[in-house]
Amino acid sequence: MDPERLSALIRQYLGDQILTLLQSPKIEEVYVNPDLCVRAITTTGRRIPVPADLSPQGAEAFLRAIASITSNRFDRDHPSLAAAVLQRDLGKCRIQGFIPPLTSGPAFNIRKPCRQVPSLEDYVEDSMLTHDGYSILRSAIESRQNILVAGPTGSGKTTLCNAILKSIIDTFPEERLVILEDTTELNVRAADTLQLQTTPRISMRELVKFSLRATPNRIIVGEVRDASAKSLLDAWITGHPGGCATIHGEDADKALERLNDLAREGARGIDQRHLVLRAVHIVVLITGFGKARRVCQIVRVTGCTPTGFTVEALCT
């Protein structure tokens, strides 16, 4: 689609109010519910209503335009859309959209990434990471330990993973990084890097297999969310240490259990706690939203039982 035509359509579908919010440094996300109520999430975590004039036809047409420019199938048989976009009016953002029959009406979230990749030093300076926590993460990076970043939705897992990546690159600038993602969110500026992204026909599990043939020093996964967890854990323990991945979890125990559940899906239902124990060395939990985010827990995985994991708290 012609860029000028696309820009005109986006302005027509979303309106000036939403587009102005997306340009504000104080806004992290704008979302629309099926009832067409629009809300924005600020950098401090507040959710504010937005008086926007949005029609069901306009909301769905916007999502179809995004699906078109990102080559995603989006229709009644495939009613969800996940896409990373870089466009003049929207800027760089991640879009998650839904249409019936998945919802009662069109709905979507537009999430903006951090404008600049923070360093671990920035986390300390902003009181989001303690000095002890910083030392632990630096030691884990230097000793090539595998790090799992956990937290609830919107807590900044990807941003923290970016900071860890930046530290890896600064410490080992000659290493080859292979980055695997569903949507492009990790900002990698390594001299030797390969970024792969899933497609409707190529799964994350296949990307992990591809990555093993690309001679990586480290394998990084944007988010572990399916049975590809088994392949990733296998890769981490067979000559590719020092990786990093994110996963949803309210605490370290729940994150490890979720990782085990996902890996088990890729192992015909066989429990994978022993594999998780061998592959994951450090779990970092980040919570909060916006400027209230904090790394509230760093643990070392020390053992497993038939019903769970044992961990050693390194920093709280």
CATH number of residue 178's parent domain: 3.40.50.300
Total number of domains constituting the chain: 2
Has residue 58 got a pLDDT over 70?
Answer: yes
Domain boundary among 92, 111, 130: 111
pLDDT at residue 91, as a whole number: 85
Confidence of residue 28 (pLDDT cuts 50, 70, 90): confident
Residues 234 and 184: beta-carbon distance below 8 Å: no
pLDDT for 115 equals 66
Q: Does the structure show a pLDDT above 80 at 275?
A: yes
Q: Are residues 296 and 169 in the same domain?
A: yes
- One domain, residues 141 and 167: yes
Give the C-alpha distances (Å, rounded to integers) separating 16 from 34, 50, 51, 61, 115: 20, 12, 11, 16, 21
Would strands 27-32 and 147-151 be described as parallel, antiparallel, or unpaired?
A: unpaired
* Whole-number average pLDDT of the chain: 91
Q: Do residues 185 and 303 share a domain?
A: yes
pLDDT digits (tens, 9 = 90+) for 101-160: 999 999 999 998 776 778 999 999 989 999 999 999 999 999 999 999 999 988 889 889
pLDDT at 284 over 90: yes
Starting at the edge strand found earlier in the chain, the sheet holding 244-248 runs 193-197, 177-181, 218-221, 244-248, 147-151, 282-287, 294-305, 308-315
Residue-wise pLDDT tens digits, 239-259: 889 999 999 999 999 999 999
The reported pLDDT for the residue numbered 186 is 85
Residues 79 and 132 in one domain: no
Which among 111, 133, 161 is the end of a domain? 111
Q: 195 and 100 share a domain?
A: no
Q: What is the pLDDT of residues 87-97, one digit of tens each?
A: 888 888 889 99
Q: Which domain holds residue 100?
A: 3-111
Domain boundary among 111, 129, 160: 111
Task: Note the pLDDT tens digit of each residue in 215-231.
Answer: 999 999 989 989 999 99
Which neighbouring-strand residues pair with 304? 309
pTM reported for the whole predicted model:
0.80
